[in-house]
Structure 1
Amino acid sequence: MQSGDGFIVILIVLGLAAWLYLYSRGRIKRTVEEGSPFDFLTGDDVPEDEAIGLLEEEGYRVVSGKLRIPIQIMVNDEDEVLHSRLFIDYVVKKGSEYFTVKLAKERKPLDMTGSAIREHLMIYQLLYPHTAGVLYVDLETKQVDRFIFDIDADDEE
């Protein structure tokens, strides 16, 4: 072995150690960022109903039942605060993707136009941006529609 060989071996070992450290750190960071968007959910049992049966037939696994999201609204910086809430009927998972679920309401049918879908369902995608989309379940027609909102600021149509 020549006099500089030991120095080269030390450099290679240091380089491999640095690479291993950076790789591990990046992997851990990706795992944390790609975690479930619904880590706060409990494992509460959701009672079996017609909607869950339909979702399971389509290959979805129900993760949670109804979620209530409270909203406080201030108007014109006044002291009075208005209260409201949003409801998500279910959260489901298919493969590694999560979806929020809204059930069709007889008294408020969804018009299948872009603007109506945006007005009624896009809020649930915006509320949980790590979800893959929103499922709209119509029990009357036994149909599950999947909506995926692609918001691209560069695309002006």
Structure 2
Amino acid sequence: MEEHWDGLLMVLIAGIVFFISYRSFRTWVRKPLTLRSRLGFQMNEVILDHPAVHLLERAGYEVVSDKLKVPLTFKVNDSLLHSRMFIDYIVQRDGELYLVRMARERSGIEWTGSGIRKELLPYLLLYPECAGVLYVDADHGEIKEITLTTDDDE
């Protein structure tokens, strides 16, 4: 009779170990990738007066940097290709940093998953330590907060 309990105890321990391993692996796989977290911000502390600054401040954000140019270099085979991205502002609220992208009349965003991916995903991947991207339309007084998430976060 004692052998029966030993076997049952071994199966129970194996099940617990398997369950914990499975949950740990699932959590590890679903963790967001940190592609470029070693990049730091070169803050531009001179903040020019703009309606967007006032809109952000009224919404509870503190503007900590004005427009930044982020130089990018890509190596394709043996050639170096240069480009840049622009961040309109960096703001802070509740200890979290947000990148700000201003709405532009000539280049709007299509508010679909693929439209947001095309226009804003590079910002989210370039600085994953940021809480998200704020899309600010100063003309209409709108601020949209965009974060990269999974369906499981809902």
State if a TM-score over 0.5 links the two structures.
yes
Number of the residue aligned with 1:90: 89
SS at structure 2 position matched to 1:116: helix
Measured in 2, the distance between the counterparts of 1:102 and 1:94 equals 16
Measured in 2, the distance between the counterparts of 1:83 and 1:39 equals 19
What one-letter code is carried by the residue in structure 2 that aligns with 1:93? Answer: Q
What one-letter code is carried by the residue in structure 2 that aligns with 1:114? Answer: G
Number of the residue aligned with 1:135: 134
Is the deviation greater in 41-50 or in 125-134?
A: 41-50
Q: How big is the alpha-carbon RMSD for the aligned residues of Structure 1 and Structure 2? A: 2.1
Deviation at 1:74, TM superposition (A): 2.2
Measured in 2, the distance between the counterparts of 1:96 and 1:45 equals 21
Equivalence map 1:87-126=2 (5 Å): 87-126=86-125
Task: Spell out structure 1 runs of 4+ moving beyond 6 A.
Answer: none
Measured in 2, the distance between the counterparts of 1:150 and 1:139 equals 26
SS at structure 2 position matched to 1:69: strand
TM-score by length of 1: 0.66
- Fraction of identical pairs, as percent: 42
Measured in 2, the distance between the counterparts of 1:63 and 1:138 equals 19
Gaps of 5+ in 2: 1-37
Gaps of 5+ in 1: 1-36
TM-score by length of 2: 0.68
- Contact 2:92 2:98 survives alignment (8 Å): yes
Q: 1:113 to 1:140 in 2, by over 3 A?
A: same
Equivalence map 1:20-59=2 (5 Å): 40-42=41-43, 44-59=45-60
Higher Rg of the two aligned structures: 1
Q: 1:95 to 1:103 in 2, by over 3 A?
A: same
Deviation at 1:132, TM superposition (A): 0.6
Measured in 2, the distance between the counterparts of 1:104 and 1:55 equals 14
Number of the residue aligned with 1:144: 143
What one-letter code is carried by the residue in structure 2 that aligns with 1:136? Answer: Y
SS at structure 2 position matched to 1:105: coil
Number of the residue aligned with 2:74: 73
Measured in 1, the distance between the counterparts of 2:43 and 2:139 equals 30
What one-letter code is carried by the residue in structure 1 that aligns with 2:58? Answer: E
SS at structure 1 position matched to 2:110: coil
Deviation at 1:108, TM superposition (A): 0.6
Aligned residues: 115
